[in-house]
């Protein structure tokens, strides 16, 4: 569902602050995951990262011929050493296509130490990357931090094996874990017609309720739709959702307001930002008065996000909060707050457009509830069908330049 579109005449896509290797192009993120401090229950399983090999699988959105990879130790309490890093095409599971294997370098060296609280980016390298393809990023670690920067909600299997197996075609003895660690993003050198959509959100954007190794979150489905349309095939999608995240305070990971610069405005090639967040703020309020206050504060936070995006001449689209009737968040006060926030998103005119996920996902007979066919079972998170419906409800003309 879509309201009338309002576009600023002086709109343009963000460009990197430093020169790129090709003056005719620019860096665009093709895959990303918001870094956060990994909770104790989601830390790497034995044998751990130190002196061992981690192979992580990701699915990109757009393709390219020149890549670079970004790694983060933002929440570490000690430096992290990557003795060797390789990238190759994934052939399923932990298997790679060895003929595609590339050694990454960092300022010309094959190893790098990421300082505490910092990130690093590899040197650019040639690679024939097809859109929507699966990549394996394999890291042979030296010393690692006890506090691990990662992204717990990967919905993707990673493989951790003792010792140095960075060039191995398969890791048959690896421990399996459904989390990403240290890996932050992959960029491609793309033409000036390319740009990235940032999906800023919580667990509904992060994909809770979707299948492991299926890449069927709503941003994944949106990326597939964009690729299938010649008018939007150069548009990337970066999923910057964090499960349990809040806009204002509390929750898991940095709040949306505090991470908006990092995960939204500063992403390479960002042109559009979709904001779908606020349900955890509403659900975490414990009285009618608190729920009303949260609604007021959420609207003020959206205003800040819009102003910051417009200051960078970026388009920012507001997505309505989906129903949660029957879930552990269900209460009259919470529902009233959700409807008030959604009414403001739809009618204020502050967002450049509205993506009405609420209208697309609600049961017409019980509008406070998700459609049964779209419900994962907890009455809060959509299932795979629901995530497909969300992506299908987005008008792709929003992303045509």
Domain count for the chain, please give it: 2
User: Is residue 175 classed exposed, middle or buried when 0-12, 13-18 and 19+ CB atoms within 10 A define those classes?
Assistant: middle
Question: Are the C-beta atoms of 54 and 141 separated by less than 8 Å?
Answer: yes
HSE-up of residue 386 (Cα within 13 Å, Cβ side) = 30
Is there a single domain that holds both residue 158 and residue 223?
Answer: no
User: pLDDT (tens digit, 0 to 9) for every residue of the chain, 401 residues total?
Assistant: 344 444 433 445 544 433 344 556 899 999 999 999 999 999 999 999 999 999 999 999 999 999 999 999 999 999 999 999 999 999 999 999 999 999 999 999 999 999 999 999 999 999 999 999 999 999 999 999 999 999 999 999 999 999 999 999 999 999 999 999 999 999 999 999 999 999 999 999 999 999 999 999 999 999 999 999 999 999 999 999 999 999 999 999 999 999 999 999 999 999 999 999 999 999 999 999 999 999 999 999 999 999 999 999 999 999 999 999 999 999 999 999 999 999 999 999 999 999 999 999 999 999 999 999 999 999 999 999 999 999 999 999 999 87
pLDDT, residue 13, reads 59
Which has the closest alpha carbon to 150: 168, 126, 177? 177
Is there a single domain that holds both residue 202 and residue 130?
Answer: no
DSSP category for residue 365: T
Q: What is the token pair recorded at 161?
A: 């094996």
Q: Which residues pair with 54 in a beta bridge?
A: 139, 160
Here the CATH number for the domain that contains residue 203 is 3.40.50.1110
| Residue 1 lies inside a defined structural domain of this protein | no
DSSP category for residue 376: -
| Residue 58 lies inside a defined structural domain of this protein | yes
Q: Residue 162's Cα: distance from chain center in Å? A: 29
| Start-to-end C-alpha separation, the chain | 20
Show the domain range for 158: 53-185
| Residue 216 lies inside a defined structural domain of this protein | yes
Is there a single domain that holds both residue 242 and residue 344?
Answer: yes
DSSP category for residue 212: T
| Residue 234 lies inside a defined structural domain of this protein | yes
Question: Are the C-beta atoms of 319 and 393 separated by less than 8 Å?
Answer: no
Is there a single domain that holds both residue 229 and residue 377?
Answer: yes
pLDDT, residue 25, reads 86
Is there a single domain that holds both residue 159 and residue 215?
Answer: no
Q: What is the token pair recorded at 382?
A: 């959509």
Phi, psi of 2 (to 5 degrees): -150, 135
Is there a single domain that holds both residue 130 and residue 275?
Answer: no
Q: Alpha-carbon distance 223 to 311, whole Å?
A: 26
Q: Alpha-carbon distance 65 to 169, whole Å?
A: 23
Is there a single domain that holds both residue 238 and residue 169?
Answer: no
Phi, psi of 244 (to 5 degrees): 80, 10
Q: Alpha-carbon distance 341 to 278, whole Å?
A: 9
| Residue 41 lies inside a defined structural domain of this protein | no
Is there a single domain that holds both residue 150 and residue 204?
Answer: no
| Residue 297 lies inside a defined structural domain of this protein | yes
Is there a single domain that holds both residue 199 and residue 274?
Answer: yes
Mapping DSSP onto H, E and C, the string for 251-282 reads CCCCCHHHHHHHHHHCCCCEEEEEEECCHHHH
Q: Which residue has the tokens 């941003």?
A: 219
Q: Alpha-carbon distance 87 to 124, whole Å?
A: 12
Is there a single domain that holds both residue 245 and residue 386?
Answer: yes
| Residue 232 lies inside a defined structural domain of this protein | yes
Domain finish residue from 134, 163, 185: 185
Question: Are the C-beta atoms of 357 and 186 separated by less than 8 Å?
Answer: no
Is there a single domain that holds both residue 178 and residue 199?
Answer: no
Domain finish residue from 170, 185, 200: 185
Domain finish residue from 129, 155, 185: 185
CA angle 160–162–168, rounded 5-degree value: 75
The DSSP line for 49-86 is STTEEEEEEEE-SS-EEEEEEEEE-TT-SS-EEEEEEE
Question: Quick count: other Cβ atoms within 10 Å of Cβ 56?
Answer: 26
| Residue 26 lies inside a defined structural domain of this protein | no
pLDDT, residue 23, reads 55
pLDDT, residue 8, reads 38
Q: What is the token pair recorded at 98?
A: 């060895």
Is there a single domain that holds both residue 336 and residue 197?
Answer: yes
Which has the closest alpha carbon to 275: 256, 248, 291, 290? 256
């Amino acid at each position: 569902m879509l309201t009338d579109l309002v576009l600023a005449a002086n709109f343009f896509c963000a460009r990197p602050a430093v020169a790129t290797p090709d003056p005719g192009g620019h860096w665009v993120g093709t895959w990303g995951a918001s870094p956060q401090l990994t909770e104790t229950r989601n830390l790497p399983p034995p044998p751990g990262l130190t002196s061992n090999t981690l192979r992580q699988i990701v699915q990109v959105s757009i393709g390219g011929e020149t890549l670079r990879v970004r790694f983060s130790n933002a929440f570490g309490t000690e430096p992290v050493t990557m003795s060797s890093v390789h990238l190759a095409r994934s052939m399923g599971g932990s298997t790679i296509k060895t003929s595609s294997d590339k050694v990454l370098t960092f300022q010309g060296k094959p190893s790098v130490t990421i300082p505490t609280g910092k990130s690093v980016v590899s040197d650019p390298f040639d690679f024939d990357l097809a859109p929507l393809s699966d990549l394996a990023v394999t890291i042979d670690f030296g010393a690692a931090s006890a506090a691990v920067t990662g992204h717990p909600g990967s919905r993707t299997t990673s493989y951790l094996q003792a010792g140095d197996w960075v060039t191995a075609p398969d890791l048959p003895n690896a421990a399996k874990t459904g989390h990403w660690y240290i890996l932050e993003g992959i960029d491609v050198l793309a033409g000036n017609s390319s740009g990235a959509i940032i999906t800023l959100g919580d667990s509904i954007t992060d994909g809770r309720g979707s299948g492991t190794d299926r890449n069927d979150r709503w941003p994944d489905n949106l990326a597939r739709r964009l690729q299938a349309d010649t008018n939007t095939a150069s548009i990337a999608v970066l999923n910057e959702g964090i499960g349990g995240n809040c806009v204002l305070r509390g929750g898991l990971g940095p709040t949306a307001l505090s991470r908006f610069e990092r995960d939204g405005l500063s992403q390479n090639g960002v042109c559009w930002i979709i904001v779908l967040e606020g349900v955890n703020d509403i659900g975490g309020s414990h009285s009618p008065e608190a729920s009303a206050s949260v609604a007021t504060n959420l609207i003020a936070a959206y205003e800040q996000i819009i102003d910051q995006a417009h200051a960078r001449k970026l388009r920012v689209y507001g997505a309505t909060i989906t129903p949660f009737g029957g879930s552990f968040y269900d209460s009259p006060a919470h529902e009233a707050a959700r409807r008030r926030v959604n009414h403001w998103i739809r009618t204020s005119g502050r967002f450049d457009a509205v993506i009405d996920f609420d209208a697309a996902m609600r049961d017409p007979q019980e509008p406070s509830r998700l459609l049964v066919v779209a419900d994962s079972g907890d009455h809060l998170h959509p299932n795979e069908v629901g995530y497909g419906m969300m992506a299908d409800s987005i008008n792709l003309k929003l992303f045509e330049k």
